[in-house]
Amino acid sequence: MIVPPKKRNQSESLEATLWAAADKLRGRMDSAVYKHVVLGLIFLKYVSDTFMVRHAQLTKLVDDESSDYFMPTLEAKKSVLDDRDEYTAEGVFWVPEGHRWEDLRTAAKQSDIGKRVNNAMDAIERENPTLKGVLPKNYTQAELRSEDLGGLIDTFSRQDLAAAEFSGLDVLGRVYEYFLGQFASNEGKKAGEFYTPRPVVELLVEMLQPYRGRVLDPACGSGGMFVQADKFVAAHGGSRNDISVFGQESNPTTWRLAKMNLALRGIEGNLGPQWGDSFHADTHPDLRADFVIANPPFNDSDWGGERLRNDVRWKYGSPPIQNANYAWLQHFLHHTTPIGTVGTVLANGSLSSQQNGEGDIRKAMIEDDVVECIVALPPQLFYGTQIPVCLWFLTKNKGSVSRHGHTTRVRTNETLFIDARKLGAMTTRTLREFTTDDILRVADAYHSWRGTDTSTDTPYEDVPGFCRSVSTAEIGQNHYTLTPGRYVGSEDIEDDGEPLGEKIARLSAEIREGFERRGALQDAVLIALDSLDPEIG
């Protein structure tokens, strides 16, 4: 689902207010450390609120004589309210008494509030095995003053963050997502380890259209791809159970962020028992996904490729140990079904590099007809890096495939190139964002080319300067380079009705006249200088 800018601005007013309040309390703490303090508290508030919502529901049911839950005595009522299964069966985490948000709020001004929060995190992990090793417990560090931590608890205790029913709890998910983006903005280049800008994620999801099936992200960061896929399904009338989420993340702190992010959204995702490297400790070795969506590290030179020279995943050739780009592409394809689709972000160098055998791998992939679409993105979409990037879309089957009510046309030996470098608008001095129209323009071109539904149902046509369908033979003639600008050409210039020959003659005369005027002016200046009395001054 793409949120229109006006609605997005309205929905972000609460999040922005909370961010401003929380940021004031940061003190001397580094943003990368403070991130876990704040996001951990948001998660703690969420699990406590969901617990209390379910607790309120059960309280009402045990008092209702018409309910199957009705209990005539106080002891019987308490046995229902304290029955862990009544919570976990509804996907609610069990929060032990004494460690709930209201308990912490009451003690927010105490000097030992940091220890109390750590104890609450420990208790919740003990009572909920799926959260083991996930929650932060750094609330007693010297840089975090107890009065600042108490201030954060007060900040997140606002009435408009409380919910009387489960549907109202999504606001905390929005706050978590917003804060992730703000921390990414503050951390610059390091942000790439845990955050992909929302417009890029929205574009990937709109192009992949994961209506139902298995969705894999082998470099999942904080889980933003899964959150957006879940929104897409909901926006198209689907159920959360229509997709199954599988992910992997090598950074332990980022893996924890992803686990909390999915839990906040009520998404049951399999991110493995712990963090792990997708190349060397693949958590899902036998998985074949319907959709692979990812933003792996750009040009990773430290991926340990020397230990994987003969890996079964390298169908098109062993990737160079100096750069993981073609390792990622082949890893993604290895994990797709025969009709699955891959959508990923890569550095632009992947489109044309001939170094260390990358050109040979790219040629083999193109000749095997697995490269479906390449999108060139504008600069400054990512926090802290100016590396030009692109989107790759891969599939093992360019035939006519029926899926979820959509049937693709035969696209054998064709690849779509889209040049989106002129799209988007600067939202800050250093950051560019796609608009809703930008995202739909790119996605609609892709889907009309594939023959599937678009928001406009307009038949596909090449648009000079923007998109073009190119044969594999032509790509071969261009040495298997995949840079969109090479193929889409230039925008058509509006015809002003003046014949080309006449236009050239007119412009030539204007230029010659300009030269003559400049010469006359130069002569006049020289005469004036010669007339000056050399004795003056």
Per-residue pLDDT, averaged over 243-249, amounts to 96
Q: How far apart are CA 182 and CA 452, in angstroms?
A: 36
Show the tokens assigned to 46: 């969420």
CATH number listed for the domain at residues 5-186: 1.20.1260.30
What is the pLDDT confidence band of residue 412, given thresholds at 50, 70 and 90?
Answer: very high
Note the pLDDT tens digit of each residue in 418-477. 999 999 999 888 889 999 999 999 999 999 999 987 767 788 999 999 999 999 999 999
Common-topology check for domains 5-186 and 194-488: no
Q: Compute the distance between CA of residue 50 and CA of residue 168 in angstroms, rounded to an integer.
A: 10
Mean pLDDT within 366-390? 91
Distance separating alpha carbons of residues 88 and 465, to the nearest angstrom = 54
Q: How confident is the model at residue 404 (pLDDT cuts 50, 70, 90)?
A: low
206, 232 in Cβ contact below 8 A?
yes
What is the spatial distance between Cα 208 and Cα 365, in angstroms, rounded to a whole number?
20
Closest by CA to 392, choosing from 441, 333, 435, is 333
Q: Which residues are CB-neighbours of 480 under 8 A, at least 6 positions away?
A: 359, 362, 363, 366
Which comes out higher in pLDDT, residue 495 or 46? 46
d(CA 59, CA 64): 9
Res. 10 pLDDT band, cuts 50 70 90: very low
Longest dimension (CA), the chain: 119
- 414-419 vs 467-471, strand pairing mode: antiparallel
- Over residues 89-93, the mean pLDDT reads 91
- Can you tell me the distance from the alpha carbon of 425 to that of 5, in angstroms, rounded to the nearest whole number? 12
Residue 339 confidence (pLDDT) above 70: yes
Q: 3-class DSSP state for residue 431?
A: coil
Q: Lowest-pLDDT range, 56-65, 91-100, 231-240?
A: 231-240
pLDDT at 7 (0 to 100): 47
Q: Check residue 265 and give its pLDDT.
A: 87
Q: Would you kindly state where each structural domain of the chain is located, as residue ranges? A: 5-186, 194-488
Report whether pLDDT(494) > 60.
no
Lowest mean pLDDT among 141-155, 188-202, 273-287, 348-362: 188-202
Of 9, 21, 86, 99, nearest in space to 54 by CA: 86
Mean pLDDT is lowest, of 9-23, 71-85, 417-431, for: 9-23
Beta strands in 271-323, from DSSP E residues, in sequence order = 289-294
Question: What dihedral angle (degrees, nearest 10) is formed by the CA atoms of 460, 461, 464, 467?
Answer: 20
The pLDDT, as a whole number, for residue 509 is 74
Closest Cα to residue 417, out of 471, 458, 373, 463?
373
Q: Letter for the amino acid at 170?
A: D
User: What mean pLDDT value characterizes the chain?
Assistant: 89
**Tokens standing for 89?**
């069966």
- Fold that domain 194-488 belongs to in CATH: Rossmann fold (3.40.50)
Which token pair is 155? 């900040």
Region of poorest pLDDT, from 17-31, 63-77, 153-167, 361-375: 153-167
* pLDDT value of residue 271: 96
pTM score above 0.75: yes
The pLDDT of residue 517: 80
142 has pLDDT over 80: yes
Mean pLDDT, residues 327-342 taken together: 97
